[in-house]
Structure 1
């Protein structure tokens, strides 16, 4: 059953992502708010992803970022992000992705991320590792913390409920401890980079579920060292030493 679900997740992410690639750089049809942006491309990608999922698994529960709960009940629950990195997309920056996570009673079982511009495909299965463009990868690394590049992820609620000062303090502390901190506008892209050891760590502060479910599955199945050192904080890194240093920094 999971093989069929995995195949559907891949097809859904490709359907949405290929449509985004066709539209990228040619449109700015978007609605901007103080803390977020929504584009017509989000909705178009989501429609294509949902068509694939519902055709294959009409009995599954589905939550999509733009539509909310599309269906409920069933053995599995999908969490769909049709455009992770909308700000980047409308700004003409190529760092964006489509993503889907499939959850059961034990948490994320399947995860897929597709980065359209670079044509990168990540697929993770609980207990089955991570494949990048068909080949198994791991989050191995030997870069010390002071030379590390890490991504910092904050959820939308952090921007809305007055915790931006806390986030800024954490980001500054990470900057003091590492070589470079990437402020992530497209977490799924960075989760993929961590899964193949191209990024040394990811630190999340009250992240959004649409990216976090698939991100944590990629991290764990790629063998990253992970921890939850505090309320709303999640840390993943290529080595236990880097992980522990990142935890110390954000504390």
Structure 2
């Protein structure tokens, strides 16, 4: 009988990811960087990392489904689906900035049960298993206890389609940066979520995210005692393209400040959601 995926396998994946990322970081040639669309890059590291992760998974569990940023959906009949962002923060990677990650989550009937956010240049490996906690390099994580937005270090990001949509988060940023203790913008959603789980950030929100941006980080936040919802306070954060993640204490306040600013177009990926959730 084949063993079910567990945190031990996440350690193996982290090693695979490290090898590929560090092989390419700081060494990309111009012909190894492509533009998928405005502000949306693709590098040799993206394609090679995604292939290596999928191969590692399918060597053990060939019947598991895959939803990956670069190669798309390969959905089978089973209840397990791996959601993969091979390089989250590709612009940072391509420009030699060391804050980037690979995000890998295993979902069972649409709910994350394992999560890995690998940050090679910072030597940080964030892992989580449902019901078993979230960890950074083996040390258990706990969200912060900051009670309100005025005291909070918040994080957010801006979509690469920000010139194409009216609700592009600029207004939210302009308001909240004046209200909170301070604000950060890494351009790496999975790291932002991992930092909420680690208590480094107290809250995070973003629009137009895809499942591979949030699946692993969301499990980290939950397992560290935090809260993640969509902008309305519901659970449509995986495919709904909007999420709010906090330490829980300031969640209601932040939701109130973001009310009515969710994406103004039909979210991507609804055709996959029912199949991944098994309904």
Q: Does 1:185 align with 2:179?
A: no
Q: Cα distance, 1:43 vs. partner?
A: 0.6
User: Using a 3 Å threshold, how does the CA distance of structure 1 residues 209 and 161 change in structure 2: closer, same or farther?
Assistant: farther
2:34 to 6, 31, 34: 31
1:128-167 per-residue CA deviation (whole Å, 9 max, x = no partner) reads 11011112111133364223221114555x537423x541
Q: Is the 8 A contact 1:63 1:79 kept in 2?
A: yes
Conserved? CA contact 2:99–2:186, under 8 Å: no
- Matched with 1:15 is 16
Give the match's secondary structure for 2:201: coil
Partner SS state of residue 177, structure 1: coil
The counterpart of 2:150, out of the listed 143, 146, 154, is: 146
2:54 is the alignment partner of 1:50 = yes
C-alpha contact (below 8 Å) 2:18/2:120 kept by paired residues: yes
Q: Which residue of 2 aligns with 1:69?
A: 73
SS in 1 for 2:217: helix
1:121 to 98, 121, 125: 125
1:61-210 superposed matches below 5 A: 61-105=65-109, 107-142=111-146, 144-155=148-159, 158-159=161-162, 161-163=164-166, 165-210=167-212
Q: Residue 76 of structure 1 contacts residue 104 of structure 1 at CA under 8 Å; is this kept in 2? A: yes
Alpha-carbon distance between aligned partners in 1 of 2:202 and 2:241, rounded to the nearest angstrom: 21
Q: Which moved more, 1:135-144 or 1:34-43?
A: 135-144
* Bigger mean CA offset, 132-141 vs 147-156: 147-156
Answer whether contact 2:17 2:49 (CA < 8 A) is retained. yes
Residue matched to 1:40? 44
**From 223, 227, 241, the counterpart of 1:225:** 227
Contact 2:68 2:84 (C-alpha < 8 Å) held by counterparts: yes
Q: Which has the higher helix share?
A: 1
Kept in 2, the 8 Å contact 1:140–1:223? The answer is: no
Query: Is the 1:204–1:235 Cα contact (8 Å) retained in structure 2?
Result: yes
> RMSD value over aligned CA atoms?
2.2
Q: Is 1:155–1:205's contact at 8 Å kept on the other side of the alignment?
A: yes
| Count of matched residue positions in the alignment of Structure 1 and Structure 2 | 248
Looking at structure 2, the residues matched to 155 and 2 of structure 1 have their Cα atoms a distance apart, in angstroms, of 39
* Aligned equivalent of 2:243: 234
Unaligned regions of 5+ residues in structure 2, if any? 233-239, 260-279
**Structure 1 or 2: larger strand share?**
1
Name the stretch that deviates more: 212-221 or 180-189: 180-189
Contact in 1 for aligned 2:191/2:217 (Cα 8 Å): no
Q: Distance in 2 between matches of 1:227 and 1:173?
A: 21
CA contact (8 A) 1:8 1:52 kept: no
